[in-house]
Amino acid sequence: MGKTILVTGPDLDPAAERLVTEHGYKTVHTPAYADSAVISEHLEASGAEGIVSRMGRIDAAVMQAAPQLRVISKHGVGVDNIDIEAAAERGIPVLVATGANAVSVAEHAIALMLATVKRLLPLDAGLRAGRWEKAGFSGREIAGSTLGLLGMGAIAQATARFAKGLGLDLVGHDPFAPDSVFEAFDVRRCEHVDDLFAASEILSLHCPLNDQTREILNAAAIARMPGGSHVINTARGGLIDEAALLEGIRSGHLAGAGLDTFASEPPAADHPFFGEPRIVLTPHIGGVTRQAGARVGVEAVRGIFQVLEGQPVPPERIINRKLLAATAATRTNEEG
């Protein structure tokens, strides 16, 4: 077919759809959370030159079945569902929409923090069940607590800005962020991640999921956190050892958690988190707002056409740019 952009998901913001049409292309959509075989089928049938990656994994087999594919653009910033090395080997840039959904996700992180620390859901459930639990209740004031930020990218920065307004003290860890970022948001830098865990009465995760960060919040890390602390995750579920988190809460060492993401999505119907009232759960919708959807969708599509039309792409948006350069250099040496 050609002149097609594949969206791995059932929808795309109308503003992004209009941008596709303006460039003389059309979109084809996969079902939600389609597996690699279904994505491959849609790529082969449509002849799509670009992918807006929303749901489902884009692996080497998908790319192998689509020799016409020239660019993959993430609808957001988390690329753990894309094999970026396989893309680089085929000369396919993988783009991210950096910062486009930062405000929405940061708002959701703050909402999860407040709901969890203030125990809103158990109190609501008790009242609906006929219990008036004021007698003997002792809540917690958030102001003056220490919020730890694991990662200092755009979402963490927006979270820091909101948290300051609530009177929280901020610490952070990010080996790739310059000191100026920490200074701009009055965040005390922790050089080692263990220092961050030890200081965080509330820990909010904002780092990418990769081999270095997978299950970075494990039993040992949880043990370093102060007793009665909370965990908030709006990034990727794989950052957490879920069994260790559950044990930390059941043992009383952790007071609770607010999670917008799971190690496997959607989670199984019998996932043990569902039986723990001290965990507030949402279905990975932190960035799913009308405003963020428009910004992210437009940025994702704009990046695709920048590549297809040979226009410059801001280097910070090409997540595999170093791999692309290394692959190109290797091929040049081999040919030479």
* From 41, 44, 215, 265, the catalytic residue: 265
* From 29, 108, 236, 295, the catalytic residue: 236
* From 29, 54, 119, 284, the catalytic residue: 284
Strand 26-29 vs strand 4-7: parallel, antiparallel, or unpaired? Answer: parallel
Q: Is 85 a catalytic residue?
A: no
Q: Is 299 a catalytic residue?
A: no
Q: Is 278 a catalytic residue?
A: no
What is the set of active-site residues? Answer: 236, 265, 284
